[in-house]
Structure 1
Amino acid sequence: MKTIATIFFIFFIGTAAQAKDITKDVKVDTVEMTVVTETTPTIKLDETKQVARLYKFKNSRIKKELSFATKRNSPKMA
């Protein structure tokens, strides 16, 4: 009885899925835009001087913070 009910349920779901009419045409509004070919280069020169820090080792601060050690990292004698 359970197999017959399962087959009937699957048949019913399949028929219901095929019975749906999904043939809606979606209309898209198009927008017409023009192409601009004239460009003017703009160059901005900064007169301010800035100082950059140089480190001896690459990513030294990141490596230092990633290599932290806790009290539980130390080995203990059994």
Structure 2
Amino acid sequence: MKTILTILFILFTGLFAQAQENTVNVKVEVTIETVVLVTPTIESVLNAKETKVARLYMDKNYKVKKELSFATKANKSKLA
């Protein structure tokens, strides 16, 4: 009984939704704008003598992690 009522309810709501008329007219106004393209000229002088150094920094907690990951003799695996 419950399944029949749910199927009828779903069919009723589906048919009711299809019966609605969509008479919404949307008008879009078009505005034309003029665009002026300006190409800036950028002059770059390459200096062959200039050298740049890229630096790689370690994690700020590297020393703390290193100290916490210490190994003792008890941590080593023992062979029987």
TM-score normalised over the length of structure 2 = 0.52
- 2:29 is aligned to 29
Unaligned runs of 5+ in 1: 46-51
Aligned identity (percent) is 36
Query: CA, structure 1 residues 28+42, in 2 after alignment: closer, same or farther (shift >3 Å)?
Result: same
Corresponding residue SS for 1:65: coil
- Cα deviation 1:17-75 (Å, max 9, x = unaligned): 212222312111111123436x4746689xxxxxx8624xxx511xx117825244334
Equivalent residue letter for 1:31: T
In the other structure, the counterpart of 2:78 is: none
User: How many residues were matched structurally?
Assistant: 67
Alpha-carbon distance change, 11 to 43 in structure 1, aligned in 2, over 3 angstroms:
closer
TM-score by length of 1: 0.53
Moved over 4 A (4+): 39-45
> What is the one-letter code of the residue matched to 2:70?
S
CA-based RMSD: 3.6
- Correspondence list, 1:44-63, <5 A: 54-55=53-54, 59-61=55-57
- The partner residue of 1:65 within 52, 59, 69 is 59
Cα distance between partner residues in 2 of 1:65 and 1:16: 63
How far apart are the structure 1 equivalents of 2:70 and 2:24? 69
